[in-house]
Structure 1
């Protein structure tokens, strides 16, 4: 039996899928989207959009210096993430009736971490519901570091 070109294409696709999974293990989660059905059609909101809204809400709180990478060792990043990289500091998991969020932040030295975390949770939940119409079932705040701010 002669398969010719289709086998080589199949082999390339398998190798490509394996390499994507190795290089980007979170790729499956990133490509997922929240679907909202309206009378006019369907709205797909990707996890990157959700992560950007979450990052903006988190950094807009007193006591939060910035976002941290969820994979500090793998990404080799100890610095504060810029706005365009907020997705690297947020994990979005799809759930039956909404999403679960993990937010990785760096807080300011001298602030009450529990209070800052509560503020982040409530602001993230509020912004997701008002801006995107997405329900946050849980918002987990992971403090990756503490920074002393210069006067």
Structure 2
């Protein structure tokens, strides 16, 4: 699925991989976020931390009447306050999408897929 944006100079099509890259970059820039997680847990229930090339597997984009809705799947560091991390991710994702792509996103849902402990 791609998002079409109408500008004064014509139409621009933004692919989901581009949106996922921006969302992933915004997400991992938050303190306490270890990385992006796959939206489907592995067989044994362990969250897989994704690398930059696979951010699309940790981001789901829905186009709704009110605008885009984004689901972000993350792995957080042990001992961090989940509510604060989630609020920070939501705010930063909205800001990055607006600043880089000119997209207004009314809804960013953060799903914590796992907690990473230091070994």
So what's the TM-score if we normalise by structure 2?
0.92
Larger CA Rg, structure 1 vs 2: 1
Regions of 4+ moved over 2 Å: 76-79
- The 1:67–1:135 alpha-carbon spacing in structure 2 relative to 1, beyond 3 Å, is same
Residue pairs, 1:73-112, within 5 angstroms: 73=42, 78-112=47-81
Size of the aligned set, in residue pairs, is 118
Contact 1:124 1:139 in 2 (8 A): yes
Q: Which runs of 5+ in 1 are unaligned?
A: 1-31
So what's the TM-score if we normalise by structure 1?
0.73
Where is the helix percentage greater, Structure 1 or Structure 2?
A: 1
Where is the strand percentage greater, Structure 1 or Structure 2?
A: 2
Quick one: higher RCO (CA 8 Å, sep 6+), 1 or 2? 2
Q: Which runs of 5+ in 2 are unaligned?
A: none
RMSD of aligned C-alpha atoms? 1.6
C-alpha distance in structure 1 between counterparts of 2:102 and 2:65, whole Å: 15
> Does 2:4 correspond to 1:35?
yes
For each residue in 1:97-118, what CA deviation from the matched residue of structure 2 results, as whole angstroms up to 9, or x when unmatched?
A: 4210000000000111100000
